A = this chain, B = another copy of it.
């Protein structure tokens, strides 16, 4: 066979094969501790008129950051200090806590995809300059994977899919009903809360794999 033709065939075959190396490396885990997204109005009530959030560090998802600001949660059964505010500012305030946090505070949040806060319970937020009596917005975030279009193509999934993630190790197993979220600003990351991380002995940066596509 003509060496040039052979080279051309090899090159075309390689181009057609998905990036096996990256797929084998899997999806990095991001563990979400309790945190809050605040509206501009609530930022002013809690931290003072005209206040804007100060960035402490960038998060992996483009544009998202941990702010220097923290709030205190006051529930019917308990108080939690130092709860991190995440920026940028949002249209609606949303507090994301674990089931364990909920039992400590005396608030049972529904399991929800981010942004779907309708009918969720409220809580009292306290900052250095004032308090907000939240009437809704406390959720337990449903596990999800952030990714870009290229990741979605490689993993053979689409935005809105519910997939199953496989975890190895002493507390291994699988997480079902994992929402796939695709956006150009997203970076490949499997987001779980602290209960899920502790139950599976996972920490930030650990790798998991997609094991099958479930129902939408």
Contacts and interface: CB of A to CB of B under 8 A. Distances in A.
Interface of A: 98-100, 111, 142-143, 164, 170-177, 194-196, 198-201
A208 to B, nearest CB: 12
Given A111-B170, A198-B199, 7 more contacts: A99-B199, A100-B195, A164-B173, A170-B177, A171-B177, A173-B174, A199-B199
Contacts of A171: 111, 143, 175-177
Could you tell me the dominant secondary structure of chain A's interface residues?
A: mixed
Contacts of A100: 100, 194-195, 198
Given A100-B100, A111-B170, A198 B201 contact: no
Contact of A99 (B173, B174, B175, B201): B201
B170 A173 contact: no
A167 to B, nearest CB: 8
Among all A-B residue pairs, the 7 with the closest Cβ atoms: A99-B198, A199-B199, A195-B198, A173-B176, A196-B199, A172-B176, A173-B174
A157 to B, nearest CB: 17
15 contacts: A98-B198, A99-B199, A99-B201, A100-B198, A111-B170, A111-B171, A111-B201, A142-B170, A172-B176, A173-B173, A173-B174, A173-B177, A174-B176, A196-B199, A199-B199
A99, A111, A201 interface centre (most CB from chain B within 10 Å):
A99
